Amino acid sequence: MDSTYALIMGFLSVVIVNNFVFTKFLGTCPYLGVSGRLDTAFGMGLAVTFVTALSGIMTWLVDFYILTPSHLEITRYICYIVVIAGMVQLVEMYVRKFFPSLYKSFGIFLPLISTNCVILGLCLFINIWGTNNLLEVAVLSTGAGIGFAVAICIMAAIRENLIMSDVPESLKGAPITLITAGLLTLAFMGFAGMIK
Amino acid sequence: MANENSASPNYLKALTIGIWQENPTFRLLIGMCPPLAVTTAVKPALTMGLSVIFVLVCSNLVVSMMRNLLKPHLRIIMFTLAIATFVTIADLYLRAFQAEMSEVLGPYVPLIIVNCIIIFRAEVCASKSNVIISILDGIGTGVGFTIALCILAGIREILATGRFFNISVMPSGFVPWAAMQMPVGAFVTLGLLLGLSSLLTKEKAS
């Protein structure tokens, strides 16, 4: 019972309170770049969630069963990036084979995911937090991906409305998006302290 | 835009293009995580900038040397492996000789691997031009990035603490803006700076 409670709390914490985009600035590039329209943002969020969950688990397994026992921690970053690139490739092949229509709508986003900082960031943070339980790792990685999806969808919805508003000429585009993002983080700070 | 400029054998241009004309933060809007994350004070921002210059120059050098051996479908993974190697070196160096900074920067040093600036320069410049141009381009872009980081960090540090490198610069009645230390300060300051840069560009053009 206790561990289930801890898992739910960990999940909520990584989705809302310690959202990777709002508190750790990870994945800011796609967050600003791909959030122009709600449907593409949703697709991107979904793809990232999928890859994050898989690579979080895989890198943890590699770290726990291969790198740490054989004292190869020095090659950690290289191993992580190879695992992530491999995961993205795998997901791409799988989606192309079994969901061709989904593959078409993802387009260029799928290969781009491998340079999304959320994924590598999550793998590094799992390492720093010292998580040593596969279930916890799975919950945290899925949560981080969902957190990113939530952030990018909120942003896209705001930006769709922003088109119609009267913004000063020089602030149009990226600057106003960043300021909006700032106000959003302020709103999300209201959740801080809810969960330790 | 980037292609034609970096392909011409103009060494001075290769060096200066990254500083303003193609400044990664203000003009190209790539690699936005570190400018937001490590700019609470100038010192970590400067450390970050120097690490990025090191990684950028080394990876540009290596990519440029092996540019004739690259296969199109393996290109990106080769870039990433080269970058990851140099980032590991930079991280180990920081941990050994700058322990305090390494602690502050934490996972943002290894996150240089997925910083779009480096892979972008490898793709646009280093995989197409000779070694000297690639190195100059690396230095130029890195310096441009560092300047952007330091401007942002300077503004945030002064407004959040009233100090700059531990020297009090604000008048005595100054109330520190706590929000500047928080994520919101990063986003809003960068947004306003971007607005300023686009204002300056437009005035120059007209």
**Spans of chain B below 70 pLDDT:** 1-9
List the one residue out of A68, A65, A30 whose CA is nearest residue A49.
A30
Q: Is the pLDDT of residue A107 over 70?
A: no
pLDDT at B48: 92
The domain limits of chain B are 2-205
Interface of A with B in 132-191 (CB under 8 A): 168-171, 173-179, 181-183, 185-186, 189
**Cβ contact (<8 Å) for A117 and B107?**
no
A74 touching B (Cβ < 8 Å): yes
Choice between A59 and A168, residue whose per-residue pLDDT is larger: A59
Q: Is the pLDDT of residue A103 over 60?
A: yes
List the one residue out of A26, A125, A111, A56 whose CA is nearest residue B80.
A111
**Cβ contact (<8 Å) for A124 and B116?**
no
**Cβ contact (<8 Å) for A121 and B196?**
no
B10/chain A closest Cα distance in angstroms: 31
Provide the whole-model pTM: 0.84
Mean pLDDT of A155-181: 85
B119 contacts on A by Cβ (under 8 Å): 115
Cβ count within 10 A of residue B46? 16
Query: Using beta carbons and an 8 Å cutoff, which residues of B are at the interface with A?
Result: 29-33, 36-37, 76-77, 80-81, 84-85, 87-88, 91-92, 106-107, 110-111, 113-116, 119, 179, 182-188, 190-192, 194-196, 198-199, 202
Name the 3-class secondary structure at A139: helix
pLDDT at B1: 41
Q: What does the alpha-carbon distance between residue A62 and residue B36 come to, in Å, rounded to a whole number?
A: 31
Residue with tokens 């990025």: B52
A115 contacts on B by Cβ (under 8 Å): 80, 114, 116, 119
- The tokens for B36 are 């937001």
Q: What does the alpha-carbon distance between residue B43 and residue B150 come to, in Å, rounded to a whole number?
A: 9
Q: What does the alpha-carbon distance between residue B96 and residue B47 come to, in Å, rounded to a whole number?
A: 14
DSSP chain B: -HHHHHHS--HHHHHHTTTTTT-TTTTS----HHHHHSTTSHHHHHHHHHHHHHHHHHHHHHHHHTTTT--GGGHHHHHHHHHHHHHHHHHHHHHHH-HHHHHHHGGGTGGGGG-HHHHHHIIIIITTS-HHHHHHHHHHHHHHHHHHHHHHHHHHHHHHHSEETTEE-S-TTPPP-GGGGSHHHHHHHHHHHHHHHHHHHHHHH-
Cβ count within 10 A of residue B130? 12
pLDDT at A1: 56
Question: For A126-146, what is each residue's pLDDT tens digit?
Answer: 888 877 788 889 999 999 999
Which residue is closest to B192 within chain A, CA to CA? Answer: A175
List the one residue out of A64, A55, A26, A63 whose CA is nearest residue A142.
A55
Choice between B14 and A84, residue whose per-residue pLDDT is larger: A84
pLDDT-derived band at A109, boundaries 50, 70, 90: low
pLDDT at A34: 74
**Cβ contact (<8 Å) for B85 and A78?**
yes
Mean pLDDT of A7-18: 85
